[in-house]
């Protein structure tokens, strides 16, 4: 097939998700510095990450509902303004309590981006290319992670403000996204779906429609949340405390950690693109299951290699993890009712993450039961063993959940179907048996 050039909305959607991930990982890659700044353990610092994950569904629901009923543009702009405010505020935190409060608010703002950006990026892409561009969109997560690592390396120890500079810098690019979105029209799919008088519906009427969707399609929505919960465990379980493992278990310095992380995220970007494309040919579920099998097989070298082989293991492990995740955006969109795609996609994605929000705390807490010999009097732990066992279990569960779930590859996204009436029905049977 001929692959079209990505249009401006798709580019803005991809970059907005990329920078959303960057701003999230400004906290995950500065564990050590935050621990020293606020005189807290790694487990206590991980509470800030957990709170960010926990508040994301609220932002997803509110901004997703606004985007479905009033257009993508202004909810996107307001959402990014809040991201700027809370990312800046993190850099000014003076106490641990302030850090927790601000990262909670940041989580609310972060949650609104995913569904809106996914709709903006994918709605106007031709059907044969949706799998490919789904992978490219989801690649925003490892790409944002990669950017955070690279910029942290550039800023680390080069400013008297230390870790704070990374957060302040993270607030700048969303300004460019706001400017770009001001000059963009709504997607053609959204404009074709918007019926006369739809914008004038009252908030009560909108809530009634949401209640109808949830009541009528609760099995499908519950499945989407469960699937995203397990997906979230795969990414956070293999990534978030990986730098601690490299430092504590294998004595990597900051440069070594950066090289491994960059290698892994390049693998993730390649995997997301290729497997997203492959899912258009072989199916969404088969692509995900294959990545689970291969990802599980690579966990041992990923966590128990300390020589040059670690780079290859990191590349291919994240190839599998993000390869599976590259299927997620289009898979969720195809499973969602067209009139409420932004709301359902964003909310199910982040509710799933809410279920898995304690993954950081769980892994760090378990890791502290396996101390390693201290090199300089600082407590260190065997996080490699924890990551290996934890992620292996998650891969098995994800493969099982996906194998039992539905698939609607190629489902129409426009919602212009005779079966749809005022956003209350969908040509895809969302309440079909999960089998």
The answer to whether residue 220 is domain-embedded is yes
Q: At what angle do helices 73-90 and 96-111 cross, to 10 degrees?
A: 160
The answer to whether residue 427 is domain-embedded is no
Which structural domain range is residue 338 located in?
8-404
Query: What is the three-state SS of the chain?
Result: CCCCCCCHHHHHHHHHHHHHHHHHHHHHCCHHHHHHHHCCCHHHHHHHHHHHHHHHHHHHHHHHHHHHHHCCHHHHHHHHHHHHHHHHHHCCCCCHHHHHHHHHHHHHHHHCHHHHHHHHHHCCCCHHHHHHHHHHHHCHHHHHHHHHHHHHHHHCCCCCCCCHHHHHHHCCHHHHHHHHHHCCCCCHHHHHHCCCCHHHCCHHHHHHHHHHHHHHCHHHHHHHHHHHHHHHHHHHHHHCCHHHHHHHHHCCCHHHHHHHHHHHHHHHHHHHHHHHHHHHHHCHHHHHHHHHHHHHHCHHHHHHCCCCHHHHHHHHHHHHHHHHHCCHHHHHHHCCCHHHHHHHHHHHHHHHHHHCCCHHHHHHHHHCCCEECCCCCCCEECHHHHHHHHHHHHHHHHHHHHHHCCCCCCCCCCCCCCCCCCCCCCCCCCCCCCC
Task: Indicate the pTM of the whole model.
Answer: 0.80
The answer to whether residue 63 is domain-embedded is yes
The answer to whether residue 420 is domain-embedded is no
Domain total for the chain?
Answer: 1
CATH code for the domain in which residue 190 is found: 1.20.1250.20
Task: Give the pLDDT score at 417.
Answer: 41
Task: Give the pLDDT score at 415.
Answer: 47
pLDDT along the chain (435 residues), means of 10: 61 91 90 89 86 90 85 91 96 95 95 90 83 90 86 77 91 94 84 60 72 82 94 88 84 84 91 94 94 96 88 96 94 85 88 82 82 69 89 96 86 46 38 38
The answer to whether residue 54 is domain-embedded is yes
The answer to whether residue 435 is domain-embedded is no
């Amino acid at each position: 097939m001929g692959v079209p050039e990505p249009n401006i909305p798709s580019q803005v959607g991809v970059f907005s998700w990329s920078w959303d991930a960057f701003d999230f990982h400004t906290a995950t890659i500065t564990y050590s510095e935050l621990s020293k700044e606020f005189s807290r353990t790694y487990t206590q610092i991980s509470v800030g990450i957990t709170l960010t994950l926990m508040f994301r569904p609220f932002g997803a629901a509110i901004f997703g509902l606004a985007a479905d009923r009033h257009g993508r543009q202004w909810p996107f702009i307001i959402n990014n303004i809040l991201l700027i405010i809370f990312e800046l505020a993190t850099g000014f935190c003076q106490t641990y309590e302030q850090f927790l409060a601000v990262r909670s608010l940041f989580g609310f703002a972060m949650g609104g981006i995913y569904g809106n950006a996914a709709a903006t990026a994918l709605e106007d892409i031709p059907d044969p290319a949706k799998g490919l561009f789904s992978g490219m969109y989801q690649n925003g997560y490892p790409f944002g992670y990669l950017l955070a690592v690279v910029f942290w390396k550039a800023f680390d120890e080069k400013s008297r403000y230390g870790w704070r500079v990374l957060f302040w810098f993270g607030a700048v690019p969303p300004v460019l996204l706001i400017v770009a979105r001001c000059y963009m029209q709504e997607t053609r799919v959204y404009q074709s779906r918007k019926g006369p008088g739809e914008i004038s519906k009252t908030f009560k009427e909108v809530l009634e429609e949401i209640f109808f969707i949830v009541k009528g399609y609760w099995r499908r929505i519950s499945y989407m949340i469960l699937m995203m919960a397990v997906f979230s465990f795969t990414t956070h379980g293999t990534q978030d405390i990986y730098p601690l493992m490299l430092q504590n278990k294998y004595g990597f310095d900051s440069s070594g950690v950066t090289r491994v992380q960059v290698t892994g995220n390049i693998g993730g970007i390649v995997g997301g693109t290729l497997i997203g494309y492959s899912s258009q040919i072989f199916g969404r579920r088969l692509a995900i299951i294959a990545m689970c099998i291969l990802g599980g097989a690579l966990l041992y070298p990923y966590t128990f290699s300390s020589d040059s082989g670690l780079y290859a293991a990191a590349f291919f492990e994240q190839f599998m993890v993000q390869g599976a995740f590259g299927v997620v955006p289009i898979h969720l969109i195809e499973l969602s009712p067209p009139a409420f795609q932004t709301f359902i996609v964003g909310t199910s994605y982040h509710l799933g993450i809410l279920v898995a929000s304690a993954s950081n705390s769980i892994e760090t807490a378990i890791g502290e039961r396996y101390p390693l010999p201290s090199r300089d009097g600082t407590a260190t732990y065997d996080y490699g063993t924890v990551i290996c066992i934890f992620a292996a279990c998650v891969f098995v569960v994800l493969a099982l959940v996906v194998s039992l779930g539905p698939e609607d590859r190629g489902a129409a996204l426009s919602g212009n179907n005779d079966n749809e009436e005022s956003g209350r029905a969908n040509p895809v049977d969302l309440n079909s048996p999960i089998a």
